[in-house]
Every structure is written in C-alpha cells, then in structure tokens.
Amino acid sequence: MLYKDLNEKTREELKDYFQERDYMVIAVPKLELMRVYALRASKSVETARRIHALDEERTKILGEALLSVLLLTSSIKHATKQKVLLKLSLQDGVVVAEADGMGRVRGFIEGQVKRPWEGTLTVIKELRLGTPYTSIVPVVSDSMKENLAYYFEQSEQVKTTVDLSVLLDAEGKVLVASGYLLQVMGDAFSNIDISLEKLLMRGSRPEDIARLILKDKEPRLVGLKEVEYYCPCNEEIARSSLSLLEESQLEEILSEGPAEVVCKFCGRIYRFTKDML
C-alpha cells in the first residue's frame, strides 16, 4: 500500500506526475479513524460535455453525477474492474453514471431533468463475487451532493461529508470539476469549514483539499487513482444488444436497411446488415 506523509514534497511530486490529468487521492490522518477521498475530473467531465453536446445546466448535473460515482468507488476494491452504477430517476428524465475500480467513468443524461426533482437515487455495486448489491433511496433535494450524502446516511450508515463542484467558463466549457468525500468512523470528529468552489478558483488540487480537510491531523497519502472518461463498448456488445429484440422486430428493422445501435455513453454508432447478423 502507498503510505507517505502528505507534505509539501509529496504535493510537488503529485503535481509533477499528474500535471493536468484527472486523478483521485486517498488520505488518512495519523491517528484518528477517518478517510478522505478527493478528486479532480475536469477532463472527464469536459469529454462528457462534448460527447453529449450538453448545455451548461446539464453539464453540471452530469458532471456532478460522474464525480459522485467516482467517489462511490471508494467502497469497491481498488484497481479492479468492479463497477458502481448511479442512476438518478426523475419525473421527466434520468441521469446515469458508471465507474470502476480502475478510475474509468462514463455517463449520460436523458430527458429534461427539470427542477424541482422528484424520484429515486439508485446505486448498484458489483461485489467481488460478481453479485450486484442495489440500494434505492428517495430524492430529497435538487442538489446532487445532498442526495449523495443522504444515500450514505441511509445505506452506508457511516458519518459522511461530501461536496461537489463543476465550474464552467463563459463558453460553457468545463474549467474544473472536483469533489471530496470524508468518512468518519467511531468517535472520530472533524469539523469542515471550507468552500470547495473558492478552493478550486484558487487552483487547489485534490491533495490540497485533502490536506486542508485533515488540517493538523498529520495526513498520510494511502492511495492514488488516475481517472478518465472511458467507454468499453464495441461491435460485439452492440450486436448482442440486438438479440434482446423479438425476431419479428429485428426483421422489420432490417427490411428498411441496416440495424443501427447507438451507445448512450459515448455516442458511437454501430450498423449491422442482415448478412452480418
């Protein structure tokens, strides 16, 4: 396990190594039972914005969902292909985000997703034996971070503080997307009085946020994870999705030309003629 003091030297090493790439740091204090996950996913959220041609509001909503699901991977084994899926089901739309233990994330948004929000937040975790574990909680707020905090309160039953922020430039492009998750075990206590948005405007990186949260608790760096927007869809997966159709439905589609499958996560288009199927 990576284990080193989260001091100024480590901060410079992380800055030199990751530069402008997306990543997550995991930090703990020397003595108290708490853990901080802090991440930057600016390039990943900008990729999602471009792929889905999102306006400012929808960029922020999907961006916060991507940040949320990356933080949720804290509960699965690090550096594995185990996945966590987050689904925000609302009265007029849906937001879906998926990430794995490797730091790969993807997502999409459908419908209007207009506020006020009413609906459910579903989290599906792929456990070590491949068995999915599903938790569903009601939507309690128009804020993604407040719904995520409620999920942790109800389903994880661990004292949790979470914050998310997606900042855009004048053209609607992503300047920075970042978030953190603090989990406190037992009788440990931490009073957080920071403005994530102000920190990001000052150029703070994930390790800076973790250090500030842990303050004088002698923070240690115990984990790192590079993050990227990644979709593993391929022709074989697209072809197999057509098998879900009734034979008569597929024949009707093929009578009018090639069958077309569009990946909701990345927008790739796969076309299949009758001979190919």
Q: Is residue 277 part of a domain?
A: no
Longest dimension (CA), the chain: 69
| Domain span holding position 204 | 4-229
190-195, long-range: CB < 8 A, 24+ apart = 190/32, 190/34, 190/161, 190/214, 190/217, 192/161
Question: For residue 1, is pLDDT > 60?
Answer: no
pLDDT in tens, 99-145: 999 999 999 999 989 999 999 999 999 877 777 999 999 999 999 99
Band (pLDDT 50/70/90 cuts) for residue 274 is confident
Shared domain for 30 and 164, answered yes or no, is yes
If pLDDT is split at 50, 70 and 90, which confidence band does 275 have? confident
Taking the CA of residue 192 as centre, how many other CA atoms within 13 Å lie in the half-sphere pointing to its CB? 21
Q: What is the pLDDT of residues 28-77, one digit of tens each?
A: 998 878 999 999 999 999 999 999 999 999 999 999 999 999 999 987 77
Residues 6+ apart with CB under 8 A from 207: 6, 10, 11, 14, 25, 27, 38, 221
Lowest mean pLDDT among 16-20, 27-31, 176-180, 218-222: 27-31
Confidence check: pLDDT of 226 > 90: yes
- Domain annotation covers residue 104: yes
As a whole number of angstroms, the distance between CA 164 and CA 140 comes to: 17
Residues 207 and 264 in one domain: no
The whole model's pTM is what? 0.94
CATH code, 212 = 3.55.30.10
Q: Which residue has the higher pLDDT, 204 or 1?
A: 204
